[in-house]
Amino acid sequence: MTERLDILEVCAKELYSAVVCDTLDSIGLRDQAVAPGLEPLATDMTIFGFARVGIYMPIYHDDDQVNVYENEITLVDSLAPGEVPIISCNGNRSIAPWGELLSTRAQVLKSAGCITDGCVRDVKLIKEMGYSVFSAGRNPVDTKYRGKMMWLDVPCVIGGVTVNSGDLVIADLDGIVFVPRGRIDEVIEGALAKVRSENTVRDELRAGRSLAEVFASHGIL
């Protein structure tokens, strides 16, 4: 666990979605950025964490057998520090699977944030508590009678990206990028090297060198 949190600390200090996306491109992983449309509740919200997948399906009633909240309770209560619920609704915006009470519990457990292609509610309260949430929109409608989380920690597709629990997620105002769990060390190493080279390029541009000159020297734009 300590090693995983160390990884997140390094990411938060030096990395961002664009440089990680460029690094993924360089090793042939060119479909790891979520399609535009999932936005943070506030522009300063960022997420650096490890995915925990939960998948919803539509329902049209609730009773004792349906037990609509059982799996979402299990997922949230099992979050470890630095983990991020990835709530896949298959683009269903008619439900808000995430709200303030789930955010409160997740924040107490030191979750790094939540990402859903469904909607979110209790937005004012979530923003006040400073818990980072990216979603497809806002909707006051509960999942009760409308949707149930059916599967936990299985592969999902969100924004066109296949996501597994344990994948690294980096989300900021530019977008959301997932790093497959088996390639995390390789990608972080490459991204750190790139961002440090970009710092050199930035300094040279500020000193008056042209784009053509710095690109010839470093191959970076």
What single-letter DSSP state applies at residue 161? E
102 known ligand binder: yes
Please tell me the number of Cα atoms within 13 Å of 46 on its side-chain side.
15
Q: Which amino acid is at 84?
A: V
Query: Strand 47-58 to strand 83-88: parallel, antiparallel, or no bridges (unpaired)?
Result: parallel
99 known ligand binder: yes
75 known ligand binder: no
8 known ligand binder: no
Give SS3 for 39: strand
Query: Residue 2 corresponds to which tokens in the numbers above?
Result: 């300590």
121 known ligand binder: yes
What is the separation of C-alpha 204 from the centre of its chain, rounded to a whole number of angstroms? Answer: 33
Surface-to-core class of residue 87, CB atoms within 10 Å of its CB (0-12 exposed, 13-18 middle, 19+ buried): buried
118 known ligand binder: no
Task: Pick out the residues of the known binding site for substrate.
Answer: 99-102, 121
Task: Pick out the residues of the known binding site.
Answer: 99-102, 121-122
Task: Pick out the residues of the known binding site for Mg(2+).
Answer: 122
